[in-house]
Amino acid sequence: MAGNSLNSVDPELARLIAAEERRQADTVKLIASENYVSKAVLEATGTVLTNKYSEGYAGKRYYEGQQVIDQIETLAVERAKSLFGVNHANVQPYSGSPANLAIYLAFLNPGDTVLGMGLPFGGHLTHGWSVSATGKWFNAARYGVRKDTGRIDMDEVRELALEHRPKLIFCGGTAIPRTIDFPAFAEIAREVGAVLAADIAHIAGLVAGGAHPSPVGHADVISTTTHKTLRGPRGAMLMATSDEHATALNKAVFPGLQGGPHNHTTAAIAVALHEAAQPDFKAYAAQVVKNAQALADELAGRGFDLVSGGTDNHLILMDLTPKGIGGKPAAKALDRAGLETNYNTVPFDPRKPFDPSGIRIGTPSVTSRGMGEAEMRQIGAWIDEVVTAVAKGDAEDVIARVHQEVSDLTAQFPAPGLS
């Protein structure tokens, strides 16, 4: 079997992977948490590094044969420190949720209080939501957004912090279309003596590219995935500026939560960080925001209700209630038309999470394909056509036509990393 290709060993799986590659090539990918990685990142991910176990950290391993692995992990760490301007980085977390769990393990005991953004308002499960381990094992207080603006009310955050005296405060989330005020969160955290954790999973690439303010110098610890706007593999990182916080985080990741790191992922993270340090990545990050704002303007002009009225970053959250349709049927119809989105709750949503009022869209992937504001206006028009047709109950002809037009567009903008 050694040396045989996937196609010869498992043609059924090879066929499915090829089908997914075709689907990704032919689809306008608007899911805010997804992107296309480069061929270099893909190559690093699929290497013999997956064969090696490496419990511990560079220079302090529990397995021998780490001469090369130590260099690879050190390279990734140094690149993360340089790119984000931090003193310490841990590139071992398997993904974003384990990275956030490590923050709890590093700084809290079970039953301690955490203050995070509520899931229905744009927060993440691991910020203390009830169905997450973080909501079951810790005492969670939750902030939201103002009903009139759709934006975080920092006065409310401070009031909750003073009332509950959390040991940990999370800022950041999964459906926040506006700039996160890291200095304001830091001031509140200092006032109540809490550790401030900035979860920049969605905006890490924008931070690295200078298109969003950085939490460095404000947050005590920073958590991020590597596979969204950063255009890396499915992994995560934890960063800190102080030795004390870094030591606690390292112990929490290993041996607290994990065994050996995924060395092939570490290598791919190193590649993505190298790419993000290049001048063209700054242009990419800026274009992501320009595209999101152009798409938001187009949708608003067509009568869509945008949470907070628009966007400052890569993400748009829409309440489809005025359009007379729920988020789930809209997302399903858009997918059939080649426009890939996800249905999502909106603030103060009266509907259930599995059948919510909104959809969430983003521009990282379409920007990676080289699309610009003109294409965003066309995409906005297609979204409007499909949603309007579905709401009227007569959508199949529109869906078929839009799908063909989407295919014509994607053929003009090849996706990175795909053959």
Residue 24 lies in a domain: no
pLDDT level of residue 3 (50, 70, 90 thresholds):
low
375: annotated active-site residue: no
**At residue 2, does pLDDT exceed 70?**
no
DSSP-based three-state secondary structure for 67:
helix
Tell me, yes or no, whether 220 and 263 share the same domain: yes
377: annotated active-site residue: no
Residue 101 lies in a domain: yes
pLDDT tens track for 280-333: 999 999 999 999 999 999 999 999 999 999 999 999 999 999 999 999 999 999
Residue 53 lies in a domain: yes
Q: What is the pLDDT of residue 394?
A: 87
Contacts of 79 (CB under 8 A, 6+ apart): 270, 273, 274, 277
Tell me, yes or no, whether 55 and 165 share the same domain: yes
Tell me, yes or no, whether 326 and 228 share the same domain: no
**What's the mean pLDDT when you consider all of the chain?**
97
Q: Which of 27, 113, 134, 225 is catalytic?
A: 225
Domain count, the chain: 2
Question: Is 108 annotated to bind ligand?
Answer: no
CA distances for 88 relative to 83, 221, 241, 250, 344, angstroms: 12, 10, 6, 10, 35
* Sign of the CA dihedral running 95, 245, 170, 219: negative
Tell me, yes or no, whether 70 and 108 share the same domain: yes
pLDDT tens track for 80-103: 999 999 999 999 999 999 999 999
Question: Is 125 annotated to bind ligand?
Answer: yes
Q: Tell me the C-alpha distance between 144 and 400, whole Å.
A: 39
Question: Is 244 annotated to bind ligand?
Answer: yes
53: annotated active-site residue: yes
Q: Which structure tokens are listed for 189?
A: 């955290």
CA distances for 65 relative to 72, 146, 186, 307, angstroms: 13, 55, 43, 52
C-alpha count within 13 angstroms, C-beta hemisphere, residue 255: 4
C-alpha count within 13 angstroms, C-beta hemisphere, residue 100: 28
What CATH number is attached to the domain comprising 350?
A: 3.90.1150.10
Residue 25 lies in a domain: no
336: annotated active-site residue: no
**Residue numbers of the domain that contains 254:** 43-276
pLDDT tens track for 218-228: 999 999 999 99
pTM above threshold 0.85: yes
Question: Is 168 annotated to bind ligand?
Answer: no
Q: Which of 241, 276, 311 is the last residue of a domain?
A: 276
319: annotated active-site residue: no
What CATH number is attached to the domain comprising 228?
A: 3.40.640.10
Tell me, yes or no, whether 259 and 332 share the same domain: no
Residue found by looking up tokens 């001031």 in the block = 187
